[in-house]
């Protein structure tokens, strides 16, 4: 005899999460690319750096980080006294995994005297081997703050190429990329424009240079949220991961946001689900732990960026 399988009701799961979070003294942080129901239950939704900085200042002993591993690690580095939970321990970032700490050490040996800039989309171990961190919102400021005429930049070659347009320094880029943004092609932008002729195009700087050339604005996910609040545009084609549309539509319900491509989805970002958040709060696992000797050095690279 088969037993009927019942799908848990999202409203019931969300209430259970709220109850557990209160009992555990936990705060839920969710990235802009998370599933709609996860964004709805979160206490804060934001870009990768906003969330990590939030982790350091929020009250609560426990952070449930609804995002991917490098973000949860950054939160653990900035809030070492807190317990950081990542509801799916397999939620990684393939771009962050394109460079290891050993790769960075070898690369720096090949280019002595050049400072190393690492995108926030790197492991804490890689950050520990770099001089300064950057996000998609501040690469030009970070690179231009350095005294040397040549800098190493890892892991995103597209973000490096975008930054190169805003500096006279020579950027030596690691050959990494985000498969989600790399999959957005110029023909996708042209097709979306043909379908929505009144819309402007906003693109994330992880997109290919040929795609950025077709965009009206190039913005980080946090930049898109801010721009949506002030832009006179009432229709926008969004060239980034589709979860971004959830956040934008919620913030600006009177405006229309269209995906440049409906298949621009990050499978890792979608690994966090309501049942996994319940399980994480019940069991207080999986926990993200960064060894103190790595955390202390990674924190220096992040703090140097924040100081700018």
The contact set with ligand 13P (CB under 6 A) reads 32, 47-48, 121, 135-136, 178, 206, 220-221
Quick one: what does residue 39 bind among ligand SF4, ligand 13P, none, with the CB cut-off 5 to 8 Å set by partner type? none
Site map (CB under 6 A) of ligand SF4, residues 139-178, x = contact: ---------------------------------------x
Q: 128 by DSSP, 3-state: which?
A: coil
Instruction: Kindly state the smallest distance separating residue 260's Cβ from ligand 13P, in Å.
Output: 14
Contact 66, 280 (CB under 8 A): no
Which residue of 218, 269, 281, 301 would you call a contact of ligand SF4, by CB under 6 A? 269
| 17 binding ligand SF4? (CB under 6 A) | no
Under rule CB under 6 A, residue 94 binds ligand SF4: yes
Q: How far is CA 187 from the centre of its chain?
A: 25
Which residues are bridge partners to 85 per DSSP? 64, 287
Of 62, 59, 32, the C-alpha closest to 269 is 32
Task: Give the shortest CB-264-to-ligand SF4 separation in angstroms.
Answer: 9
CB-nearer residue toward ligand SF4: 94 or 275: 94
- Tell me the HSE value of 29 on the side-chain side, using a 13 A CA sphere: 29
- Residues 185, 207: Cα–Cα separation, whole Å: 8
What is the Cα–Cα distance from 226 to 218, expressed in whole angstroms?
13
138 binds, among ligand SF4, ligand 13P, none (CB under 5 to 8 A by kind): none
**First-to-final CA distance of the chain:** 65
Query: Does 268 engage in binding with ligand SF4 (CB under 6 A)?
Result: yes
């Amino acid at each position: 005899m088969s037993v009927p399988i019942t799908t848990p009701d999202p409203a019931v799961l969300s209430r259970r999460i709220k109850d557990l979070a209160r009992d555990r003294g936990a705060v839920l942080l969710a990235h802009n690319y998370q599933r709609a129901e996860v964004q709805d239950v979160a206490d804060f939704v934001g870009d990768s750096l906003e969330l990590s900085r939030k982790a350091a200042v929020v009250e609560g002993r426990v952070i449930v980080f609804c995002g991917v591993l490098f973000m949860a690690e950054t939160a653990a580095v900035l809030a070492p006294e807190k317990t950081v939970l990542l509801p799916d321990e397999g939620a990684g970032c393939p771009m962050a995994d394109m460079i290891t700490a050993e790769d960075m050490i070898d690369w720096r040996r090949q280019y002595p005297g050049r400072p190393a800039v690492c995108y926030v989309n790197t492991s804490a171990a890689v950050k520990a081997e770099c001089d300064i961190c950057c996000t998609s919102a501040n690469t030009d400021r970070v690179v231009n703050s350095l005294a040397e005429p040549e800098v190493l930049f890892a892991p995103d070659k597209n973000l490096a190429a975008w930054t190169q347009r805003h500096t006279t320094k020579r950027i030596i880029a690691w050959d990494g990329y985000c498969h989600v943004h790399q999959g957005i092609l110029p023909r996708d932008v042209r097709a979306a424009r043909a379908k929505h002729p009144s819309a402007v195009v906003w693109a994330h700087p992880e997109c290919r240079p040929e795609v950025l050339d077709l965009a009206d604005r190039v913005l980080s996910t946090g930049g898109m949220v801010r721009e949506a609040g002030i832009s006179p545009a009432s229709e926008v084609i969004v060239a980034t991961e589709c979860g971004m549309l959830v956040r934008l539509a919620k913030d600006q319900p009177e405006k229309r946001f269209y995906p440049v491509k409906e298949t621009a989805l990050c499978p890792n970002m979608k690994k966090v689900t309501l049942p996994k958040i319940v399980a994480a709060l019940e069991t207080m696992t999986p926990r993200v732990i960064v060894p103190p000797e790595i955390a202390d050095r990674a924190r220096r690279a992040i703090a140097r960026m924040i100081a700018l």
